[in-house]
Amino acid sequence: MLKIVLLGAPGSGKGTQSATLVEDYGVPQISTGDLLRSAVADQTDLGKKAKAAMDAGELVSDDIVVGMIHERLNQPDTENGFILDGFPRSQAQAEVLDELLDDLGRPLQCVIHLQVDNEELVNRLMARGRADDNEDTIRNRLSVYQDQTEPLVAYYEQRGLLKPVAGVGTVDQIHARIKDALAGI
Ligand code: AP5
């Protein structure tokens, strides 16, 4: 059983680290970014609504994202847990998540906060080259993170759920740090 959130700025390694944690713990990664990109690629109504915000590095509206998460967390493969990657991203989303997990009787065990400085984040994202990895969008994603998502560090710290992890070094080194943090929960 593992019920965690990976919290961190764009490029901090949430997706990269989720991939190995999925193998370690046998629980699904739930990435709102991946779900949204797949809706955009399939040109669904939801994808068409989300695309402009994603291209600009803004948050997609809560009604879209919360609806997706609600549906995903009600699927049976999440019964033994989940790794949330990229959700929640605002206090409103965090409050909805608390309610949703309360209803399901599956409260969060911890929130891993991947800490990486801005220069390293920009270098990683510029090197990757995803559709939203151009300079203007990266700048806006980092600023949206700082304004809307970073306050969740204090939100989860107050609830005793926050585990800070240095997100620099090799992927394996960071993975080992996360495993250490999870060993204590
Ligand atoms: P999302 O897909 O969540 O993007 P993001 O948060 O900007 O995160 P990234 O995928 O860029 O970074 P990551 O932390 O996963 O790092 P990664 O492992 O990929 O969201 C995209 C958009 O969707 C948002 O802007 C928004 O519009 C919308 N959205 C999503 N969720 C939403 C929500 N809840 N509410 C509203 N809107 C939402 O690594 C990045 C790069 O670094 C890779 O190339 C990787 O290979 C490399 N890397 C990883 N680790 C290391 C390392 N240790 N050393 C060197 N390089 C590394």
pLDDT in tens for each of the 185 residues of the chain? 899 999 999 999 999 999 999 999 999 999 999 999 999 999 999 999 999 999 999 999 999 999 999 999 999 999 999 999 999 999 999 999 999 999 999 999 999 999 999 999 999 999 999 999 999 999 999 999 999 999 999 999 999 999 999 999 999 999 999 999 999 88
Instruction: Give the distance (Å) from ligand 1 centre to CA of residue 14.
Output: 6
Yes or no: say if 118 and 39 are a contact pair by the CB < 8 Å rule. no
Is-contact 124 171, C-beta < 8 A?
Answer: no
- How far is ligand 1, taken at its centre, from the CA of residue 11, in Å? 5
Ligand 1 atom at shortest distance from the alpha carbon of 88: 34
CB of 141 shorter than 6 A to ligand 1: yes
pTM (2 d.p.): 0.97
Phi, psi (degrees; rounded to nearest 5) at 54: -65, -45
**Residue linked to tokens 């990664």:** 29
Task: Mark out the alpha helices in the chain (DSSP H runs).
Answer: 14-25, 32-41, 45-56, 62-73, 91-104, 118-128, 135-144, 151-158, 171-183
CB 1 within 8 A of CB 162: no
